[in-house]
Amino acid sequence: MDFYLSTIWSIFKALPVTIEIWFFGVAIGLCIASLLTWARASGIKALDLFVRGYVFVFRGSPLLVQIYLIYFGSPQIPFIRNSEILWAIFQNPMPCTIIAMALNTAAYESEIFRGALQAVPLGPIEAAKAYGMNPFTRFRRIIFPIALRLALPAYSTEIILMTKATALASVVTIMEMMGVAQKIQHDTFKPIEVLTCAGLIYFALNFSIARAFAMVEYYLSPHLRPPPQQGTTPAPVADVL
């Protein structure tokens, strides 16, 4: 029992590194995905072809290969090797891993956002046009809220997948949770015990993220909540106001 507790604590101490990789990868990926979604919806042929190629490449190749190419391959490019700023970035495994994760998740997220925008019903959009809303107001008050609710389940799944993908950072010498777990495993020769402890921490982390997204989805979908039970006393008007 002491071994399990000490192992969990040792792995848990690397949680800030895992969260740092996850947070910046997801945040930068969200910004890139938003730009890709806009480019795809702009109607410009060149941008549409670029986004299609980008999505095809990054969804069609493993994230591990992308991390290897960015970390081990980028120093071979003379432009990067001769630039002090770029060399300082790409010789460090942490920025390389974050860049690879951001580029990878942006491809998936852009398709999630594109599908959500296309799934918005035409009825509310036509009603907003008839009401006289300008395109920006129509997007802000009609299209975006509906698309956000539609994209949230698939987006939450992608976020959880990115949480698990942080374990790949250990292959480029980053001592996040999986890197620490592998070191303990090599020192103790107890792979089942150590990996079980690591799996429990990842499970708890992903469960927390899933519950957080479920709460957000519940908040954004009042029309899907069960109606109040009959016979309940309505709130006084003074309390409502």
Residue 25: exposure state from Cβ atoms within 10 A (0-12, 13-18, ≥19)? buried
Q: What is the second-level CATH architecture of the domain 2-223?
A: Orthogonal Bundle (1.10)
Domain positions in the chain: 2-223
Residues 98, 22: Cα–Cα separation, whole Å: 8
Span of 75-84, 98-107, 150-159 with lowest mean pLDDT: 75-84
CB 133 within 8 A of CB 176: no
Res. 113: pLDDT tops 80: yes
CB 174 within 8 A of CB 94: yes
Q: What pLDDT was estimated at residue 221?
A: 78
Tokens 């980053």 sit at which residue? 174
- Tell me the mean pLDDT in the region 104-111: 96
Residues 156, 108: Cα–Cα separation, whole Å: 12
Q: Which structure tokens are listed for 162? A: 């990115």
Contacts with 190 (C-beta within 8 Å, 6 or more apart), sequence order? 3
pLDDT tens digits, 197-237: 999 999 999 999 999 999 998 888 776 667 766 655 555 54
Q: What pLDDT was estimated at residue 2?
A: 86
Residues 41, 52: Cα–Cα separation, whole Å: 12
Residues 15, 126: Cα–Cα separation, whole Å: 48
- Tell me the mean pLDDT in the region 137-162: 92
Q: Sign of the C-alpha dihedral, residues 125, 126, 131, 132?
A: positive
> How much is the pTM?
0.88
Res. 79: pLDDT tops 50: yes
Phi–psi pair at 193, nearest 5 degrees:
-65, -45
CA neighbor of 14 nearest in space, from 161, 156, 182, 157? 182
